[in-house]
A = this chain, B = another copy of it.
Amino acid sequence: MTTDSDGVCTAEGVPAGDPGHPAQRTLCEADRALVARRQRALGAPCQLSYTPPLHPVSARGAWLFGAGGERYLDASDSVPVVGHCHPRVVEAISRQTATLSASLRYIGADILDYTERLLATLPDPLDRVIYTCSGSEAVDLALRMARMATGAEGIIVTENAYHGSTAATAAISPCIGGRMPLGVHVRTVPAPDRYRFFGTDVAQAFAAEVEAAIEDLRRYGMRVAAFVADSLFDSDGIFVSPAGFLRGAMDAVHRAGGLYIADEVQCGFGRAGSHFWAFQRHGIVPDIVVMGKPMGNGYPVAGLAARSVLLEDFCEDSHYFNSMAGGPVAAAAAGAVLDVLRDENLMANAEQTGASLKAGLNMLSEEFPSFGDVRGTGLYLGVELVRDRDSREPDSALASRVVTGMRERGVLVGLTGPFQNVLKIRPPLIFSEEHVGILLTTLSQTLECESGAS
């Protein structure tokens, strides 16, 4: 298997008469018309990814396919964790949708089977699950529970965190920026960035920042309700080392009477490779674990796990119900995802293939001085691009060009970090050595092309 884009360095190399070629910079007329209709009907809220944007018409495994036969290796989307349109997930959703899709207001065995399997992946004393449709809803619910359980209001997050799109979760998501204000009850701490800020003593420095935030809340008459952290710090730039660095921060929050909420919406379900949940790398147990995106491999199902004692107050008084959440189709989809993860041994594959991919990225690092840092775990990897290895000045422009260049060559990766200079590589966990080869070759070609151009 080879990429569709061998040797293609720029758009000039693309045959003008082949509108299906992935390297074509301009959209075909039909797609331009769709983009115009989109602007009229959806407005600006939902920006298209990639330049030019993609128009996939089908997908399978690690691949998206366009109408013109072009294909894209998807190393970007954290949702299709067992691969796009996995037949077992498709079959489970189809079968259950045809049979019953009633709400959780009725007795059903399937959601209980699933819940028990899900709880078995989590450490004690996490023993209860509440379902939602989206990760945003799950974080929102975790915040409500934390405030009720602690009687406190303060929330601590990292400086470029993203935790959701509801009013309450957007208010703790500094990453959004623009005119979306943080809540007055929110304090931010620098991300545990060993590369850029903390030197090597990440654990101590991060804990000290969290303690300072707790103290700052106190000065304003507030106590901390929760410290909320993406277990791999995706939007901050992906930070994973040294394993264990989260413990001091968690302990500080616990001493102050607050809860630790692990946001596993992007990183959960085996992607970290060594562990099913990314927080487990730190040898700690959160008070609440929030999960979403990969949970249904595209079917909208999300939720949280918590200690039963935390839920009691909330459950007695909140009359929480979500009519779309935790129904039999959600159970079927999410159950099939667990089946495939187990039967195809995908967590182990994430660890092995992820290690192989990381080793390849480290080799490219020797060749390309723009590689400031290669980091990550399992199949959740980041490559920080810099102008200069000494100054470590972020090279956001290069990162953007690399993403576009790889997209033109048929490989999709993302961007993250406050400077948008970190290549984000998050393929489905079925990613093979062959896929790794395609990705590395394409990245190398793109970087060579950029080196020649600069």
Residues of B within 8 A of A134 (CB): 132-134, 137, 322-325
Task: Point out the residues of chain B lying under 8 angstroms from A308, CB to CB.
Answer: 43
Docked Cα-Cα span, A143 to B293, in Å, equals 24
Interface string of A313-347 (1 = CB under 8 A from B): 11111111111111101000000000000000000
Contact partners of A425 in chain B: CB under 8 A: none
Per the 8 Å Cβ criterion, residues 99-147 of A in contact with B are 99-109, 111-112, 115-116, 119, 127-130, 132-137, 140-141, 143-144
Contacts A90-B97, A178-B318; A106 near B48 (Cβ below 8 A): yes
Does A453 lie at the interface of the complex (its beta carbon under 8 Å from any beta carbon of B)?
no
Q: Which residues of B contact A318 (CB under 8 A)?
A: 45, 170, 176, 178-180
Question: In the assembly, what is the distance between CA of A454 and CA of B302, in Å?
Answer: 47
Contacting residue for A56 out of B100, B177, B180, CB 8 A: B100
Copies of this chain, count: 2
Chain A, interface residues (CB within 8 Å), range = 35 or more
Query: Which chain B residue has the least Cβ–Cβ distance from A177?
Result: B319
CB distance from A410 to the nearest CB of B (A): 15
- The residues of B that contact A57 with a CB separation of less than 8 Å are 99-100
Residues in B with CB closer than 8 Å to A127 are 40-41
The interface stretch among A31-39, A212-220, A349-357, A394-402 is A31-39
The answer to whether A93 and B84 touch across the interface, beta carbons within 8 angstroms, is no
| Interface of chain A residues 157 through 200 with chain B (CB within 8 A) | 165-168, 170, 176-180
Give the B-binding residues of A (Cβ under 8 A). 31, 34-35, 37-38, 40-49, 53-59, 64, 77, 79-80, 84-85, 87, 89-90, 93-94, 97-109, 111-112, 115-116, 119, 127-130, 132-137, 140-141, 143-144, 148, 165-168, 170, 176-180, 292-293, 297-300, 302, 308, 311-327, 329
Contact of A128 among B43, B47, B324 (CB under 8 A): B43
Contact between chains at A179 and B313 (CB < 8 Å): yes
In the complex, the chain B residue whose C-beta lies closest to that of A326 is B46
- Considering the chains assembled together, what is the distance between the CA atoms of A311 and B46 in angstroms? 12
Known: A45-B311, A112-B38. A144 touches B167 (CB 8 A): yes
Contact B178 A106 (CB under 8 A): no
